[in-house]
Structure 1
Amino acid sequence: MNAKRTAIAVSAALALPLLSAPSALADEAPPPDNVSIEVVTVNGSGCPPGSANVVISDDKTAFTVKYNDYLAYAGGDTNPTGSRKNCQINVRVNAPGEYTYAITGSDHRGFAGLQDGASGLQQTNYYFQGSTQDRTVQHELNGRYVDDWQFRDRIPANQLVYKPCGQARNLNINTELRVNAGDSDNKVSFMSMDATRSSTTYHFAWKRC
């Protein structure tokens, strides 16, 4: 449908990196074997306690965040506070000291039911703890839209930001969903990243320090 094609086009346009290139490191390396990921904190209206989990892939090239209660809605007799939901996750990636990593991109999946005149927004911001360099990407959907949605972001290799070698820096991931009822404020619209069809996957690049 036209709305879906528009969403994909917007995704491609916004997938350009917003970060400056890091100092030169060694060539990209295969992932080390003994890598694990640990969730340090989870906060936000979109991820109540126990409703989000993080799983690293078997090949150590990505990790996936799954949510069980991430839903924003507006219109009708819904509570106005439900139109914006957010989730802040702080993760620690454990790897051998001679390795470092960068986030090379992300894939976001969810479902939306937007009435004519309504709109939805998905936003992601992530950065290393203590760093002034961050990346923020937004994607929009316009109603009428009732379907799965998927947004794909990628960062060119020469513009990746790596965790500083030898420093303990956790990764902060902040996501947000917003729904604006617009002209359809008498009908309910929603946008979600919950249940089995929704997730966010973040991809790694590894280098030796």
Structure 2
Amino acid sequence: MLHIRRKAIAVFGVVVASSALMAPPVSADPPPPGVTFTVAGVNGQGCDLQSLTVPESASEFTVRYGTYQAWGGGGSTSADWVKKCQVVLQAHIPQGFTYAVAGVTYRGYAEQATGARGLLRAWHSIEGMTPSEPLNHLETGPNVKHWSVNTEVAAADLVFKPCGEDRLLYLDSELRVDAGQPTFMAMGTTADPAALNTVRLAWKSC
């Protein structure tokens, strides 16, 4: 279990949409061999990327942060209540193939007093293309738990990188806590061995 400092803050107003747990879609084509992703940049307050792992099959990859957490309570400030992160990735794929993000599994940890709330807001996009619909995942105290939430992109809504074009992939997210009660919410950190974020990919030939 994580050992944390707790703090309390003022309420923020956010409308949270429910997110169903879904199975990942099947790729249109199998992944090509030799796919890699490299980190082109990490932007935000309090998010430090620790690992990016692409398995040989390249049907998905995983992301882990070092410390990515928001917390509230006595003595906290606005810098503690909201954390934002953007991971920028460069795909290296063989000619004749392209990819889209087919879904993401987000994992983390929450420790909250009664009535306290923590929100994950997350989305992804390929450079110059329409971003995904944002996920809003709410955790409400009292709880001490590991949490997990899946998103899936319908086959008709997959946004494929244009064939032959060199475009970046953006993974955007933010963590917020509120409710004037001790609260803590983290995502995908090295302090929680199970908390890898998994990005699933769909592939097609050009």
Q: TM-score, normalised by structure 1?
A: 0.82
Q: 1:85 to 1:134 in 2, by over 3 A?
A: same
Match of 1:21 in 2: none
CA distance in 2, matches of 1:202, 1:208: 20
**Which deviates further from its counterpart, 168-177 or 193-202?**
193-202
State the 1:90 CA deviation. Answer: 0.7
Contact 2:73 2:180 in 1 (8 A): no
State the 1:201 CA deviation. Answer: 0.7
Give the fraction of aligned pairs with identical amino acids, expressed as a percent.
Answer: 35
In the alignment, structure 1 residue 12 sits paired with structure 2 residue 20: yes
Partner residue of 1:128 out of 121, 126, 140:
126
- Count of matched residue pairs: 183
Question: What do the CA deviations read for 1:135-157 (whole angstroms, capped 9, x no partner)?
Answer: 32111111112110000111121
CA distance in 2, matches of 1:167, 1:135: 23
CA distance in 1, matches of 2:95, 2:151: 28
State the 1:183 CA deviation. Answer: 4.5
Give the alignment's Cα RMSD to 1 decimal. Answer: 1.8
State the 1:80 CA deviation. Answer: 2.7
CA distance in 1, matches of 2:93, 2:180: 50
SS in 2 for 1:81: helix
Question: What do the CA deviations read for 1:51-79 (whole angstroms, capped 9, x no partner)?
Answer: 43211123111111101111100122223
* Runs of 4+ in structure 1 over 4 Å off: none
SS in 1 for 2:19: helix
Contact 2:124 2:131 in 1 (8 A): no
In the alignment, structure 1 residue 207 sits paired with structure 2 residue 204: yes
Match of 1:3 in 2: none
Contact 2:85 2:174 in 1 (8 A): yes
Q: For 1:179, give the aligned amino acid.
A: V
Unmatched runs of 5 consecutive residues or more in structure 2: 1-16
State the 1:208 CA deviation. Answer: 0.2
Match of 1:108 in 2: 106
Contact 2:72 2:180 in 1 (8 A): no
Match of 1:69 in 2: 67
Match of 1:197 in 2: 194
CA distance in 2, matches of 1:105, 1:121: 19
Q: TM-score, normalised by structure 2?
A: 0.83
In the alignment, structure 1 residue 157 sits paired with structure 2 residue 145: no
CA distance in 1, matches of 2:45, 2:119: 16
